[in-house]
Structure 1
Amino acid sequence: MAGDLLNIEGEDTARKSWHLRQFIKQCQDSFSVLEKCLKPVIAAVHGACIGGGIDMITACDIRLCTHDAWFQVKEVDIGLAADVGTLQRLPKVIGNRSLVCELAYTGRKMMSDEAHCCGLISQIFQDKDSMMDGAFELASEIASKSPVAVQGTKRNLLYSRDHTIQDSLEYMAAWNMSMLQTDDVVKSAGAVMQKKTSKEVTFSKL
């Protein structure tokens, strides 16, 4: 596909560049939709997670893996810089620029234990089956919460990642001046007082 784009409009560099940029943007957007999704997205990794796989999981909210999983920013080995999200999101996900640079410059493999240690992964499971069970259990737990609270939390976490603390507090205040008026607050508080779990409360769909 990318090769075809280089042949667009003969040898005109500007036109080839224009169409290649559009192609790259489309690829970027195909991963960014995971981040923009209003609901939390859980990634479950087993085996190899290479190149585009890193782009995908760093756009997700929660990442799980099996013991045999490994991760690799592979683009440098094929002569290009990762261009659809890894270089932008990975530094913010693991918070260690030195490690990110090492991984991106060398293309070396990072095994599951290191991925967990640096914060790329939040939980490691023995095998694929136990990981999938854990992922569905986690998803069920999140789904039992107030959708107003969960989706508002995701939106504000993403906003605060890209803005100053003060800007984020201002955004949060503007957000909650309406969202705090939800009936979900009363239902949730009532459940706590009655020592019920969130799974015993029915929230309206959002």
Structure 2
Amino acid sequence: MTDNLVSLKVDIADGVADVTLLGPGKGNAMGPDFWRELPIVFGELDRDDAVRAVVLTGSGANFTYGLDLPAMSGDWAGLLGDRALAKPRTEFLGKLRRLQDAVTAVAACRKPVIAAVSGWCIGGGVDVIAAADVRLASADAKFSVREVKVAIVADLGSLHRLAGIIGEGHLRELAYSGRDIDAARAEKINLVNDVYPDQEAVLAAARSLAADIAANPPLVVQGVKDVLNNQREHDVAAGLRYVGAWNAAFLPSEDLGEAVQAFVERRAPKFNGE
């Protein structure tokens, strides 16, 4: 397995790989190291015949606070201001597609991926668990498709994968409002399969399910995932290209600048639709 990881830890035993988010940002926030390492790790797990299933979880109390805004803000800095011309927009699109590809690496991994969520799972975290095969939660888990709160159209896959998981109505409610939902609501709308009392219990359940999967014929399990993913991932790929082009064209706004400034100043943003 890859050495010198910063944002992820990988442990493999008895056919099951535990992949743990480490941060290094607060609440396992997803910074440059995470986006660089995620596709490398899942690419290696895909190729490793000793791995038959994957459990994905977060270190500490939370799965992830989502995108590390201060660390990643440079990716769209060129879009802010009056001269967001073709070059910065094209560069932004290239960077965005690399982030999209990182999340897609989770879905593309031939080994089933089980997300075990405790505490907060925000923004990019929801993108990642939507790319997993199965989602389980502890009772303290909280979820939020929060990009709208920072003047961004979610562009890493949640808008494309969640419709088939929770349905259009629930997806639109979460994406339009940016509301937080608890584990009980997440289970009710099928975002998670089951809810367990605490972090220890949800991890045990995820590992038990992974062990059951690992005991089955590996090529057949991989074939099942391939068949289930075939149409969905084809549609997701087209949707990701569309939202990438949309955000490269329309992401620059006074509201985005206000969202970033409000985050830095730790205050509520005031959006004006400009």
TM-score (norm 2): 0.56
Alignment of 1:5-84 (within 5 A): 6-7=77-78, 11=83, 13-84=85-156
Q: In 1, are the aligned partners of 2:139 and 2:196 still within 8 Å (CA)?
A: yes
Gap runs ≥5 in structure 2 = 1-71, 235-274
Q: Does 1:136 align with 2:136?
A: no
Runs of 4+ more than 4 Å apart? none
| Higher share of residues assigned helix | 1
**Residues 43-68 of structure 1, C-alpha deviation per residue, up to 9 Å, x if partnerless?**
00001111011001000001000011
TM-score (norm 1): 0.74
Q: In 1, are the aligned partners of 2:75 and 2:95 still within 8 Å (CA)?
A: no
| Higher share of residues assigned strand | 2
For 1:120, what is the secondary structure of its paired residue?
Answer: coil
Aligned residues: 162
Q: In 2, are the aligned partners of 1:77 and 1:107 still within 8 Å (CA)?
A: yes
Alignment of 1:28-177 (within 5 A): 28-94=100-166, 96-161=167-232
C-alpha distance in 1, partners of 2:170/2:212? 32
**Residues 147-188 of structure 1, C-alpha deviation per residue, up to 9 Å, x if partnerless?**
11100000000114467xxxxxxxxxxxxxxxxxxxxxxxxx
Q: CA deviation at 1:110?
A: 1.3
C-alpha distance in 2, partners of 1:62/1:147? 17
Q: In 2, are the aligned partners of 1:76 and 1:106 still within 8 Å (CA)?
A: yes
C-alpha distance in 1, partners of 2:200/2:84? 52
**Please, what is the CA RMSD of the aligned residues?**
2.0
C-alpha distance in 2, partners of 1:124/1:63? 10
- Choose 1 or 2 for highest CA Rg: 1
Change (3 A) 1:4 1:50: closer
Q: CA deviation at 1:3?
A: 2.8
For 1:152, what is the secondary structure of its paired residue?
Answer: helix
- Counting aligned pairs with the same residue, the percent is 38
Change (3 A) 1:89 1:4: closer
For 1:110, what is the secondary structure of its paired residue?
Answer: strand
C-alpha distance in 2, partners of 1:47/1:87? 22
Q: In 2, are the aligned partners of 1:70 and 1:111 still within 8 Å (CA)?
A: yes
